[in-house]
A and B are shown apart, each in its own frame.
Chain A
Amino acid sequence: MSRVNDHAEPADTEGGRVAGASAEFDPVEAGGASAGAGAAGSDAVGTGARASETRAGTGAAAGAAPAPAARPPHGSRPAHAPASGPGNVAAAEAAPAGGVREGSVAAPARQGGGSTGRPPGKEARGRRSGRARVRRGASGASPLVSGGWTPWLYLAPALVVLGGLLVYPIYQLGLISFFQYTQAQVSGGEPTTFEGFGNYAELFGDPQFWQVLLATVLFATACVVSTLAVGCALAVLLTRVRALPRLALMLAALGAWATPAVTGSTVWLFLFDPDFGPVNRMLGLGDHSWTYGRLSAFFLVLLEVVWCSFPFVMVTVYAGIRAVPGEVLEAASLDGASQWRIWRSVLAPMLRPILVVVTIQSIIWDFKVFTQIYVMTNGGGIAGQNLVLNVYAYQQAFASSQYGLGSAIGVVMLLILLAVTLVYLRLLRRQGEEL
């Protein structure tokens, strides 16, 4: 019995519920699910969702029994799916999509539940029986096979591309940062000279670098905090409303999510335009320029960044909340916990793995903001007042032809993000993640 299976399995009932959750806000779903004549997998997932919703509604008297029953017997799902062929999207889709949720979004609920010791007895019993069932079912399945050279054959294209266009450039970046590398060296007029830590010394001696670094850290922090606050608040709000408002909010968020950074930046600039923008008219600000002051320019960029990045947080956290077993929340509310208390003491610990992921992702994205700053403040603002590290490196390298200096800034950025990544990996490991 492979540990992988064991890990992914017990959450199958929640898996069904998440599938149902996403189906509710999906306009395409209704057509898609009914379209396939051979959509056995899709049907099963749907039944699972309904079964678990009923279970939550009726006070969990039936325990987890309906959900496993709704699951097709081992092998029936795959038997249908390939027969339907790639043309039948509904059938083919049901198997992987449902399956992924089982092991993914649903799993943290189980883990968190275990660590807080909250889940009531019924839930635990259902889970145990689920696991036992799997042991029986999976005893015939093989563990991961060791395929000799085959995995390396499959990996070869990826490793070649990543080696040539990711690892090698990183090495080059480090190398260039130790050289005197300006326009003269690029055009071949002068030989490149090794400078040791000269570029770094110059960088660290420059007060502007420290100012930019500080601005980057503060700006990224503000973006991360605002994005998480807005995303989580709206995710909770989504669980409180009926289908129509939820659909509206989801669609609006997807629209913001899909908007390219360049167009998002120009649109927000236009909204806040001193002469023709609607915002100044609405607020009665006359021809106040938002991009003139340092803070207000940063604030405007922050608004745009939050607008385009909160949907990721909202959708992910919402899926996570829907995956929390209903019994747990019900037990908490029966015990008289307030909504805030439920969020703080039940949901937040259970959602911790998901919150860690969205936090780290946000840090990484917001630390690297380039397009928005570049477009909205026209390359770093008046006299470089709105520079962040990324734009600063770009300006040093491509505008001032100080490639060595630009690379040194790049290395600093790389190291900072590497540190964040290491923290992330540690957190993942502490949660007992399995790769």
Chain B
Amino acid sequence: MNPLRARVRRPGRLAAEASALLIAVVVAFPLYWMVLSAFKPAGEIESSEPRPWTLAPSLDSFRHVFGQQEFGRYFLNSLLVAGCVVIASALIAFLAATAVTRFRFRLRTTLLIMFLVAQMVPVEALTIPLFFLMRDAGQLNTLGSLILPHIAFSLPFAIWMLRGFVKAVPEALEEAAYIDGASRARFLWQILFPLVLPGLVATSVFSFISAWNDFLFAKSFIISDTSQSTLPMALLVFYKPDDPDWGGVMAASTVMTIPVLVFFVLVQRRLVSGLGGAVKD
């Protein structure tokens, strides 16, 4: 076993484990409180003696949320935006990552550095020019105005992260495919693509999250047509700074968090390995 661990004497380890559990509880507490509050009946949420449990769970807050403001529609909008971004950026990034890992060509290193630098660009600073770009393209108030920028902004990181996964596929395999008479396209889509697919899924988490969480673009580009709103905007409908409807906010937050959580738990192992690839490679 790991000598770091082996060396720790028993009381020391128990203390470490106790504090690990305690920290886990503290870290998980906000999420617990969110879900709990979403299920609390109205009287208990707005009580001056909040209790960490509820004896009468109710779905009132969820009913309230979905009954108002076309919340279901916003949910679908968010799902549509995130879905388009994930699929488009995964395919584009796969092609680009293949190009920079499987071929040697002029400007290759320059391009890689450009992709690295592009990750650092503060997306938020580009809201103003993008706003005018979308206006000129007639895309304001459409979901397209959210999808397009997010594809662009998730690409550099996706390419960077996918490199490791593409590189891990042995070159001998590529040779074997060509010797067997496969075309480049056939190798790309029928051999490389299925092999890199797990990596693509891990990469997708990041584009999914950036699109799903997006608040700034939705706030800036969807200005008048509320039917094109997405979840973060809808959530803030319930949050009025002076008199927030906490039950509604927490129920909406729960609805918004759960898809990401599910996605995360499903791909978490590949996520860690993929981060390794992106972080150091």
Residues of A within 8 A of B (CB): 4, 8, 18-19, 22-23, 26, 28-29, 32, 53, 56-57, 74-75, 77-78, 81-82, 85-86, 89, 92-93, 95-105, 107-108, 140-147, 150-152, 154-155, 157-158, 161-162, 164-166, 168-170, 172-173, 176, 234, 237-242, 245-246, 248-249, 251-264, 266-271, 273, 275-278, 281, 307, 312, 315-316, 319, 321-322, 326, 329-330, 333, 339, 342, 353-354, 357-358, 364, 367-368, 370-371, 374-375, 378, 390, 393-394, 397-398, 403, 406-407, 409-411, 413-414, 417-418, 420-421, 424-425, 435
Contact = CB atoms under 8 A, between A and B. Distances in A.
Contacts of A276: 45-48, 50, 246
A249 B260 CA distance: 18
Interface of B: 1-8, 12-13, 16-17, 19-21, 23-25, 27-31, 33-34, 37, 45-50, 52, 91-93, 95-96, 98-105, 108-109, 111-113, 116-133, 148-149, 151-153, 155-156, 159, 164-165, 167-173, 175-176, 184, 191, 194-199, 209, 212-213, 215-216, 220, 232, 235-236, 239, 241, 244, 246, 249-250, 253-254, 256-257, 260-261, 263-266, 268-270, 272-277, 279-281
For the residues of B in contact with A, the DSSP-based class is: helix
Contact of A421 (B109, B120, B148, B152): B120
A154 B99 CA distance: 6
Contact of A406 (B8, B128, B236, B281): B128
Given A75-B173, A276-B50, A394-B216, 20 more contacts: A28-B268, A92-B195, A141-B172, A154-B95, A155-B95, A155-B111, A162-B156, A168-B129, A169-B130, A173-B125, A176-B128, A259-B260, A263-B256, A263-B257, A266-B235, A268-B30, A315-B272, A315-B275, A342-B4, A409-B125
Contacts of A150: 99, 103, 184
Given A176-B128, A237-B19, A425 B195 contact: no
Contacts of A29: 269
B266 to A, nearest CB: 7
Contacts of B123: 368
A290 to B, nearest CB: 13
For the residues of A in contact with B, the DSSP-based class is: helix
B159 A248 contact: no
A271 B27 CA distance: 13
Nearest to B218: A262
A387 B255 CA distance: 29
* Leading 10 A-B pairs by shortest Cβ distance: A99-B168, A410-B125, A165-B152, A172-B129, A105-B276, A154-B99, A263-B253, A158-B96, A144-B104, A151-B103
A151 B98 CA distance: 8
A29 B268 CA distance: 10
A158 B155 contact: yes
A367 B37 CA distance: 32
B252 to A, nearest CB: 8
Given A281-B49, A319-B272, A435 B109 contact: yes
A77 B170 contact: yes
Given A28-B266, A81-B195, A161-B155, A421 B117 contact: yes
Given A104-B277, A368-B124, A241 B196 contact: no
Nearest to A422: B117
A416 to B, nearest CB: 9
Nearest to B109: A435
A92 B202 CA distance: 14
B275 A393 contact: no
Contacts of B92: 157-158, 161
A255 B5 CA distance: 26
A240 B246 contact: no
